[in-house]
Amino acid sequence: MRLEEQMKSGLLYREYGHKDPVDQEYEKIIEKQRVNAKEMMFDFNNTRPSDMETRTKILKELLGSVGKGIYLEPPAHFAYGCNTHIGKNFYANFNFQVVDDCEVFIGDDVMCGPNVLLCVTGHPLDPEYRLGGTQFSLPIHIGNCVWLGAGVMVMPGVTIGDNCVIGAGSIVTKDIPANSLAYGSPCKVIREIGEYDKKYFRKDVLVNDFK
């Protein structure tokens, strides 16, 4: 099986050292993509705070797709960039990190606190198989209207449903169904978000007129 197929099918692969000419050519392609992501995010992270036009231009050129109203607070980092797809009205606070060796899909109206990590890639447990940097990659899907609290880590292959809130410091290793409050390490569903939350914006504190 070709390197490209291994990377996109969740199987083990190595990014370097292939003998097949087709795989060697693909090595060059992904190396160029990785370097391009680092170069473009270097430029992004060194823009002046007022230069939103340049920041938006860089993200539109780098990312696989991006909606209107995207805002990333520098610094931010992508492994590839071209494999990440972000919807409209996205906000990420300082140090948003995306290890996107395969695709990452983020819906509309998503918010991320500081130090959020989305990581599609892992490594085998057996030390022999890890030699040479062997890894696997599984897509991440994040729905609409999701809030990832500060320091949340989302691991390979995870899907987080619409309207979820993931509490600060959580490590998300399994899928989280829509409309869930979830937190912990590993992250677990605590309860469903519902009518109580329409009345109280935090525990026993009534929603005030903020409009």
Q: Residue 177: CB partners within 8 Å, gap ≥ 6? A: 161, 164, 189
- Of 77, 85, 123, 141, the catalytic one is 123
Q: What is the dihedral of CA 8, 10, 12, 16, to 10 degrees?
A: 20
Answer yes or no: 123 catalytic.
Answer: yes
For residues 7 and 101, the answer to whether their CB atoms sit within 8 Å is yes
Of 72, 160, 148, which is closest to residue 116 (Cα–Cα)? 148
Q: How far apart are CA 149 and CA 131, in angstroms?
A: 34
Catalytic residue set: 123
